[in-house]
Amino acid sequence: MAQHTFLKGDANWWRQATIYQIYPRSFADVNGDGLGDIKGITSRVDYLHKLGIDAVWLSPFYPSPLADGGYDVADYRNVDPRLGTLADFDEMLEALHAVDIRVFVDIVPNHSSDQHPWFQEALKAGPGSAARDRYIFRDGKGANGEEPPSDWISHFGPRGWTRVTEPDGTPGQWYLHLFAPEQPDFNWDNQDVYDDFITTLRFWADRGVDGYRVDVAHALKKDMSDPMPSIKSFDYAVTGEDVLKTIFDREELHQVYREWRKVFNEYDPPRVAIAEANAPLYRRPLYASPDELGQAINFDILHQPWRAKKFKTSISNALTLAQAAGSSSTWVLSSHDEVRHASRYGLPKGTNYDNWLMTDGTVPGINYTRGLRRARAAEMLLLALPGCTYIYQGEELGLPEVADLHDKDLQDPIWIRDGKTRKGRDGCRVPLPWTREGSSFGFGTGGSHLPQPEWFGDYSVEAEDGVPGSTLELYREAISLRKQLQSEEQLEWIDSPAKTLHFARPNGWQSFTNFGAKNVPAPAGKVLLASRPLKGNLVPKNTTVWIQAS
């Protein structure tokens, strides 16, 4: 068995890092069952090393019935047998650490799987039991408790409560689930829950894990006062920021993270964490403060249209907030929850992505060339910013969304829960193409749990490796250059023509992006890298260029 390996060194390693998100079930499949596995990750360490990243974040690989792609965890301190064993995990960690790549695991504290032993125990134990107190059970309303305790919806569909059948066979209490019914929410006022997550954090840190991504970090503590407040929508614009903010994102939640921080700081270097917190922007510094999780995912730029002004405002806000938090900002364009950005940027302005997916990606039409050019330009822009950049597996190949998955193949609970009106997130989770041809394009030998389209081979690692100008080579070069040039220093905006963004970083490093439709002159200096070849001294549309100013 591999020894537990620990990477020592700089406590601030994460502040300016490049982090690669792996969705393990779709990364690489060594045992040929069509599902990616831990050994698959180990088998691709060279690839990750060559990409130049500082760390990987692994989406959940724990035992799970897969009601929500693994975000329904049945055992927080183990590996899903379909993905391997703890020994495989140790071996993977050792191999990654050997090339200085650190590892984040995903902690899912808001809810467990309904197959978690605690939830099964709660079902059997009945109302008022200590086992039920670990989750959020309530009596229903109406004469016979047939109405849910409140109008709360779930993120995946119309109702956030499900009624159980009691051990004596009668219709019984209701339990809360902010996501699928197979994902019951924990009661974070319960000491067992609190203690168990501390044990989980230590379990992974003791194995040598370097950090955690914290799922749904804003919602652990809820306003459950009687009568319960109303939630008909999770959209701030609809329900009102003040309302949602008092239900979630509560003061007492921050005490939990302050306690977690003490655990992180027991280690050398301290473990780090990043919050997936859907809280109002001005509240985010709290999660990102050095007393709490340390960083927060910044989704803002991901939702901006391809416009210089919008990008500039988003960047300035994020940098100000990160400074207020004593943290560094984070940047991300794609994830396992979002339509891939190479597709988003190819769609007409204002496209509703859910509706587009429902047409199998046919209406409105997409311009793939433009999408990819913008995707490459946007990523270079992000990599030039101060802070930590997150890359989602496959974006380094320029992969577009697989928009035409057949209904029968969809796995995302959103599809069923929302009455088949939204396809959900499977199109960005299709297993990676490693080779131009062959069984599942080199993903494995036993097919692929989500079908890959015929054109996938054109975006494979094999098709791009060593090919000058390919997206893979662009990422490699950009990440490597950034590593040499990056520092904690803030950026300085430089005045530039309309529809362009120009900023300076330390030691003469400058980034210039042309968002407009016309060629514009490149800033003075030596061209270090461009997302698209320049036309003489002109920067074409949808292009970022890095300059070394003298």
**Which residues are near ligand GLC by CB under 6 A?**
68, 71, 108, 179, 215-216, 276, 336-337
Q: Which is nearer to ligand GLC, 29 or 276 (CB)?
A: 276
Find the shortest distance in angstroms from Cβ 63 to ligand GLC.
15
Nearest CA to 377 among 209, 281, 467, 501?
501
Q: Which is nearer to ligand GLC, 108 or 403 (CB)?
A: 108
Residue 39 to residue 25: CA distance in whole angstroms: 11
CB 393 within 8 A of CB 60: no
Q: Which is nearer to ligand GLC, 423 or 505 (CB)?
A: 423
CB count in 10 Å sphere of residue 430: 24
Find the shortest distance in angstroms from Cβ 216 to ligand GLC.
5
Find the shortest distance in angstroms from Cβ 417 to ligand GLC.
11
Q: Which is nearer to ligand GLC, 97 or 155 (CB)?
A: 155
Whole-angstrom CA distances from 502 to 108, 297, 315, 375, 546 are 39, 24, 12, 18, 10
Find the shortest distance in angstroms from Cβ 464 to ligand GLC.
27
Label each residue of 203-234 as H, E or C.
HHHHHCCCEEEECCCCCCCCCCCCCCCCCCCC
Q: Which is nearer to ligand GLC, 179 or 331 (CB)?
A: 179
The SS3 of residue 19 is strand
Structure tokens at 282: 């001005």
Q: Which is nearer to ligand GLC, 334 or 460 (CB)?
A: 334
Find the shortest distance in angstroms from Cβ 481 to ligand GLC.
30
Residue 45 to residue 92: CA distance in whole angstroms: 8
CA atoms lying within 13 Å on the CB side of residue 345? 28
What phi and psi values does residue 148 have, to the nearest 5 degrees?
Answer: -65, 155
- Torsion from C-alpha of 480, 482, 485, 487, nearest 10 degrees: -130
Q: Which is nearer to ligand GLC, 336 or 482 (CB)?
A: 336
Find the shortest distance in angstroms from Cβ 477 to ligand GLC.
30
| Residue of closest CB approach to ligand GLC | 71
Find the shortest distance in angstroms from Cβ 336 to ligand GLC.
6
Find the shortest distance in angstroms from Cβ 337 to ligand GLC.
5
Q: Which is nearer to ligand GLC, 336 or 502 (CB)?
A: 336
The secondary structure element, H or E, covering residue 511 is: strand 509-514
